[in-house]
């Protein structure tokens, strides 16, 4: 009989008396789990006070977990390697131009009456072409290695596009 239970992945039941003892105890507990305990009023006030303290005044820390220490160490070793792999994969992907080029980050900011493009991809030159009308192009600037390119911001609601090469 024990083998049958093991094959089924089940626990062999104990004597009838012991099983009923646990079940009886559980039934008794569920019916009346005891008089409810309450916190002291001072403890409540302290909890609310501590919970509302600004971040940084206390060491909040992340939610703890039941991970065993070994698992935490393994996780701590895997995460940096995973992050490095993802970062290298991201850096290696082609963004502009032929595959293998460094990634380019372009940021456009309005500064007074000008729109300023910042292109960060290392010490390279770029050719930026302003496109005011589809099919018509007007060259504006060849960027320096610092990656700063400025263009006057025309008033109005026209759509202006830039092509970075």
Partner 1 sequence: MSVRTDLDAPVRVDAEPATEPAAPATAETRDVVSDDALVRAARAGDERAFEALLVRHEAGVLRVLRLLGVRRDDREDVAQEVFVRVFRHLDGFRTGRPFGAWTWRIAVNATHDWRAGSARERRTAAAAWEAGPESTVSTDPGPGDGLEATDLRRRLEAALDHLSERERAVFVLLEMEGLTAREVAGALSITSITVRRHLGRARERLQRVLAEAAEKNPAPR
Query: What is the contact surface with partner 1 in residues (CB under 8 A)?
Result: 10-11, 14-15, 17-19, 21-22, 24-26, 28-52, 58-60, 63-67
Closest CB to partner 1 among residues 10, 159: 10
Please state the closest distance from residue 80 (CB atom) to partner 1, in A.
Answer: 21
Please state the closest distance from residue 122 (CB atom) to partner 1, in A.
Answer: 39
Closest CB to partner 1 among residues 66, 76: 66
Q: Kindly report the CA angle at 94 between 120 and 97, in degrees rounded to 5?
A: 75
Burial 70-91 (b: 16+ CB within 10 A, else e): eeeeeeeeeeeeeeeeeeeeee
Please state the closest distance from residue 61 (CB atom) to partner 1, in A.
Answer: 9
Pairwise CA distance, residues 125 & 138, whole Å? 18
Rounded to a whole number, what is the distance in angstroms from the first to the last CA of the chain?
78
Pairwise CA distance, residues 143 & 163, whole Å? 12
Closest CB to partner 1 among residues 65, 109: 65
Phi/psi at 137 (nearest 5 deg)? -120, 145
Please state the closest distance from residue 79 (CB atom) to partner 1, in A.
Answer: 16
The bridge status of strand 127-133 relative to strand 136-142 is antiparallel
Please state the closest distance from residue 46 (CB atom) to partner 1, in A.
Answer: 5
Pairwise CA distance, residues 35 & 147, whole Å? 72
Closest CB to partner 1 among residues 9, 113: 9
Closest CB to partner 1 among residues 55, 81: 55
């Amino acid at each position: 009989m024990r083998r049958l239970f093991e094959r089924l992945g089940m626990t062999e039941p104990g004597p009838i008396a012991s099983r009923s003892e646990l079940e009886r105890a559980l039934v008794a507990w569920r019916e009346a789990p005891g008089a409810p305990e309450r916190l002291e009023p001072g403890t409540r006030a302290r909890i609310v006070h501590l919970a509302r303290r600004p971040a940084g005044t206390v060491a909040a820390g992340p939610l703890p977990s039941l991970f065993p220490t070994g698992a935490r160490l393994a996780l701590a070793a895997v995460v940096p390697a995973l992050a490095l792999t993802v970062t290298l994969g991201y850096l290696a992907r082609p963004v502009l131009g032929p595959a293998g080029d460094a990634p380019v980050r372009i940021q456009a900011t309005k500064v007074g009456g000008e729109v300023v493009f910042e292109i960060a991809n290392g010490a390279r030159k770029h050719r930026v072409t302003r496109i005011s009308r589809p099919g018509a192009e007007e060259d504006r600037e060849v960027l320096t290695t610092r990656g700063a390119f400025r263009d006057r911001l025309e008033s109005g609601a026209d759509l202006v596009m830039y092509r970075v090469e």
